[in-house]
Amino acid sequence: MEARAAAELERRRRERERWQPNPDSEDHPNPQRLALATEADELYYGGAAGGGKTDLLLGCALTQHRQSVIFRRVYPNLRAIIRRSVEIMGGDDSYNKSDRAWNLGDGRFLEFGSVQYEDNKSDWQGRPHDFYGFDEITEFSRTQYQFLIGWNRTTRAGQRCRVICAGNPPLDADGMWIVEEFAPWLDDTFAEPAQPGELRWYYYDGEGILHWQRADTPVVVDGESIRPRSRTFIPASLSDNPHLAADGRYLSVLNSLPEPMRTRLKNGDFSAAQGVDPWQVIPTEWVRAAQKRWELCEQPRGEADSVGVDVARGGRDKTVFVPRWGSYFGEPERYPGINTPTGPVVAGLFQQLYRQPGYINLDVIGVGSSAFDSLWAMYPSTPVQPINVGAGSTYTDRSGRLRMRNLRSEAYWRMRDALDPEQGSRIALPPGNEVVADLCSARYQPLANSIVQVESKEDIKKRLGRSPDVGDAILLANLPLVIDYSDQTLIIDEPVRISPY
């Protein structure tokens, strides 16, 4: 019996170690091999389609780790990965279909998991793995990713722990969080870009702000010394995968795709415009076009026509100011919520930046009311307009057919109308993927009587893994001086000023 068990263990070992990364070419080393060799705690691999992403996840789990899990967002998408694992293992004798897990012998296992809904992530709480693999990482939310890898640990001496994310460029604004998390490699506006395969170390401060550094140097956060984790990005494309590229059939599939999907999947282009979700309020390509116009403009001189103010106190949210000169929006000024604990502090920071703007739009829901009081007192000759995004709206879109459920819906739809290229938009928006993600993440639903309702800020925060503070400040700056509420019209005849009381 013991001899049979030992023979079975040896057979399993031979089968799983049969997998090898793609070979190097004459021109350059193969990305799969580089991915296995990198010392990064977290790796983003792929970009283009066909680079051998799924095989890398399986091969790494089977040959280098003891307790592994590979995720897809929804379970049906795991089937192809499981089938490929059976091919690598040469059969499914040691695969438990009910547990969706391989028993690899000697205490080793590989399981497959899904987290279709946001709350499903808690199903994996307290279940440590030394390897986490995410296939099509942009389908996951930032909060799911951050939560799940929180148990990337082992008690076995000498066993390495790591995370590999595999995926293509995001197809919509919801997946843009991955560009922010791997900004040194993927964000073309990042101040100190990194080369593929280069290690960078990151940490979050006490307010959840992401910081990058070039060395593995401990940092002090909230009085505690912590070790930053390392990340890198290794691109791979179809040409790096001889098993799939040899006959040219998959290349013809990629070439037949419509733009911008062809550019994203064939070239791994993270700057290509995302596709338009039919319920996405503001199309991504409209925002990208406005950012290109911004690069060709100079900031106008003089005081801003308006400034949008989105207030935060504590937590991971930010207080953000965005000035606007006509169709030109200035760069956002951001302050961690912990640095804006009171209304007077917010007003004091504002006063350092802006002397006498045309008017100020400030979100007064929740923590914004105190900041409104302070700005009201400090700017006696400037209209300070309190914006309650939950209030009713009488705004209709350009067609005159769609009416808005509330002022939040109006703010988004005004920006949509202003960005519409068919209307000859001249809007110029500041650069950065944060602006794109914030403005393009909102979805809407049509209600009865041609009424449009944009989803809540809380729903957007669940998908982005953070608050869309910059986008909200841009929307506030774009609102006109007089807001016509459905239940009452606030009329301004300067220098008469608005009060919410």
CB 135 within 8 Å of CB 53: yes
Say whether pTM exceeds 0.85.
no
- Is 407 inside a domain boundary? yes
Kind of pairing, strands 306-310 and 359-363? parallel
Longest dimension (CA), the chain: 94
The Cα 69–Cα 101 span in angstroms is 9
- Is 363 inside a domain boundary? yes
- Is 234 inside a domain boundary? yes
C-alpha distances in Å from residue 187, one per residue of 436, 471, 487: 12, 18, 44
**Tokens standing for residue 203:** 């940490």
pLDDT value of position 191:
85
232 shares its domain with 318: no
Instruction: Report the alpha-carbon angle 197-65-18, nearest 5.
Output: 90
The contacts of residue 292 (CB under 8 Å, 6+ apart) are: none
254 shares its domain with 300: no
User: Which residues of the chain have a pLDDT value below 70?
Assistant: 1-17, 258-261, 271-277, 484-501
CATH number, domain with residue 62: 3.40.50.300
222 shares its domain with 90: yes
Single out the residue in 221, 237, 267 at which a domain terminates: 267
150 shares its domain with 176: yes
- Is 274 inside a domain boundary? no
pLDDT value of position 225:
94
CB 358 within 8 Å of CB 453: no
Closest CA to 429 of 330, 308, 285: 330
CB 46 within 8 Å of CB 35: no
The Cα 454–Cα 413 span in angstroms is 9
Distance of CA 89 to the CA centre of its chain: 35
pLDDT value of position 432:
87
Neighbours of 191 (CB within 10 A): 8
124 shares its domain with 45: yes
The Cα 346–Cα 465 span in angstroms is 24
301 shares its domain with 219: no
Locate all alpha helices (DSSP H) within 379-421, ordered by sequence: 407-419
Host domain of residue 222: 2-18+30-267
- What value does the CA radius of gyration of the chain take, rounded to a whole number of Å? 26
The contacts of residue 290 (CB under 8 Å, 6+ apart) are: 419, 425, 427, 428, 429
pLDDT value of position 227:
94
The Cα 466–Cα 448 span in angstroms is 31
pLDDT value of position 316:
77
77 shares its domain with 145: yes
**Tokens standing for residue 86:** 């059976």
CATH number, domain with residue 402: 3.30.420.240
- Is 457 inside a domain boundary? yes
The contacts of residue 342 (CB under 8 Å, 6+ apart) are: 313, 370
Domain count of the fold of the chain = 2
- Is 9 inside a domain boundary? yes
Single out the residue in 209, 239, 267 at which a domain terminates: 267
365 shares its domain with 320: yes
Locate all alpha helices (DSSP H) within 224-310, ordered by sequence: 242-245, 249-255, 261-267, 284-295
The residue with tokens 């996951």 is 140
- Is 23 inside a domain boundary? no
117 shares its domain with 262: yes
The residue with tokens 């049509």 is 446
pLDDT value of position 25:
80
One DSSP character per residue, 220-247 reads EETTEEEPPEEEEEEEE-GGG-HHHHTT
235 shares its domain with 338: no
280 DSSP 8-state letter: B
257 shares its domain with 353: no
- Residue 457: half-sphere exposure toward Cβ, Cα within 13 Å: 18
The Cα 452–Cα 371 span in angstroms is 30
246 shares its domain with 311: no
**Tokens standing for residue 205:** 């401060």
- Is 493 inside a domain boundary? no
